[in-house]
Amino acid sequence: MGATRSGRSWEPALGRRAALVVLMAALLTLALGGSAWALDPEGCLICHGDPNFTDPTPEPNGPTSLYVDPEAFSGSVHGSNACSSCHRGYVLTIPQHQLDASKDFRQVAIEACESCHSDAFMAYQTSTHARLYYQDEAGPICISCHGSHEIRQVRLGAETADFKMSMAQDSCGRCHQDKFEKAKHEFHFKALSLGYERAATCFDCHGFHENLALKSGEAETVQQCRKCHPGATEGFTYFQMHLEEGFENAWWGVRAVYLFFSTLLIVVLVTGIAYTTVHMQKETRMILGVFGRGLGRLFGFIRALEEESVRSRGPGNEGQSGLPDGDQTGGRDEKDGGEV
């Protein structure tokens, strides 16, 4: 609005230019996809739907992208909402929005979510995530896990295994990668990755918004386990989760049993393979047959060379002892060859 007061001379020109830009962009968008206008009654995507649309304010890490993927947004659970239902306090002026700089955008975001999802917000308020956010504003807020424009459709109790898995990997695992890497080897996740949608993922135990820490032996933990295992007692919670593949971080008893049985496995299998190979070779002469024949030829060739060298040295010196030796090996070779 400040622009109107600053001078009459260019005011119509700006208005006309802006109108032209809007019109052309609108025509272009309509030509590209007629449905876009229906989803975007305020026309925000005319500019924000352009992948190269950036904030011109100089930033140390290069320009900030202001792009919103129209398809991702229309496919999201908020796809039919207007942009302004979340983005409040913006005055729609083009080319630059008038921002209320006194408010942090994260606070704006939380307030926007809270206005519809007050239950989730109340649950979040008690969580470790919220405590971190209120401490130094670095902790995760709603959009850190849920995403902003591509919020996915979730029907509680009807999640697919793929969705649960990707939530664990992309939402929780983005910050808790170490936990996710360990949980992957755990049977809940194994079942999940094979398509069992009832198997627990992160939020089934830790809660959606409460993100409980869940220590063994606590009443809260028993409560969470009972959601799937109704008969769980305190002892149940001493099952160790998030273990490494080699059980390095497990109770020493688990690791000892693991090392014992892994050793047993290797010893028995290697012995078994070796024994079976030898037994089969004796019974069928198949396994080492080709190889054995090759060895026989090699020995024959060496013997021929030896004989040759003995002969060239002439009779008298060591020839007597060398020749019968050669004959002996030759005899054994032939026997081996015959067996093969």
Partner 1 sequence: MTTGTVATEGVRLVYRRFSAFHRFNHYLVMTSFFGLVLTGLPLKFKDSYFSQQLMNAIGGVEAAGFIHRTSAVLNILYFVLEAGYMAWYVAARKGPIFSDDSIVPGKKDWQDMKGMFRWFFGRGPKPALNRFTYWEKFDYWALFAGTVLIGGSGLMMWFPEATTRILPGVTLNVALVIHSNEAFLATGVIFIFVHFFSAHGRPESFPADQVIFSGYLPVEHYVHERPLEYENRLKDGTLDQVVTLAPSPQRRRMFGWITAAVTVFAFLAATYTFLLIIWPLVF
The total number of residues shown for the chain amounts to 340
In the complex with partner 1, the residue whose CB is nearer, 2 or 231, is 231
Tell me: does residue 163 bind partner 1 (CB under 8 A).
no
DSSP 234: G
Q: Which stretch binds partner 1 (CB under 8 A): 172-180, 274-282, 289-297, 301-309?
A: 274-282
Tell me: does residue 223 bind partner 1 (CB under 8 A).
no
Q: Which stretch binds partner 1 (CB under 8 A): 19-27, 59-67, 236-244, 323-331?
A: 236-244
CA distance 132 to 113: 18
Q: Which stretch binds partner 1 (CB under 8 A): 40-48, 65-73, 131-139, 249-257?
A: 249-257
| CB atoms inside a 10 Å sphere around CB 280 | 13
CA distance 26 to 240: 58
Q: How far is the CB of 256 from partner 1 (least distance, A)?
A: 9
Q: How far is the CB of 252 from partner 1 (least distance, A)?
A: 10
CA distance 80 to 35: 12
Q: Which stretch binds partner 1 (CB under 8 A): 64-72, 108-116, 226-234, 302-310?
A: 226-234
Q: How far is the CB of 197 from partner 1 (least distance, A)?
A: 9
User: CB-based contacts of 63: which residues, under 8 Å, 6+ apart?
Assistant: 54, 55, 56, 57
Of the candidates 58, 230, 316, 338, which one interacts with partner 1 according to CB under 8 A? 230
In the complex with partner 1, the residue whose CB is nearer, 4 or 240, is 240
Q: Which stretch binds partner 1 (CB under 8 A): 108-116, 151-159, 280-288, 310-318?
A: 280-288
Tell me: does residue 268 bind partner 1 (CB under 8 A).
yes
Q: Between the CA of residue 34 and those of 27, 28, 202, what are the distances in Å?
A: 9, 10, 41
Q: How far is the CB of 249 from partner 1 (least distance, A)?
A: 11
DSSP string, 302-334: HHHHHHHHHHHH-SSSSHHHHHHHHHHHHHHHH
Distance from the first to the final alpha carbon of the chain = 100
In the complex with partner 1, the residue whose CB is nearer, 36 or 202, is 202
Nearest to 211 by CA among 278, 144, 159: 144
Tell me: does residue 131 bind partner 1 (CB under 8 A).
no
Tell me: does residue 257 bind partner 1 (CB under 8 A).
yes
Say whether the peptide bond before residue 56 is cis (omega within 30 degrees of 0).
no
Q: How many CA atoms lie within 13 Å of 118's alpha carbon, on the beta-carbon side?
A: 1
Q: How far is the CB of 265 from partner 1 (least distance, A)?
A: 5
Residues 174-213 that bind partner 1 (CB under 8 A): 187, 190-191, 193-196, 198-199
CA distance 48 to 107: 22
Which residues lie near partner 1 (CB under 8 A)? 187, 190-191, 193-196, 198-199, 216, 229-233, 235-240, 243, 247, 250-251, 253-254, 257-258, 261-262, 264-265, 268-269, 272-273, 275-276, 278-284
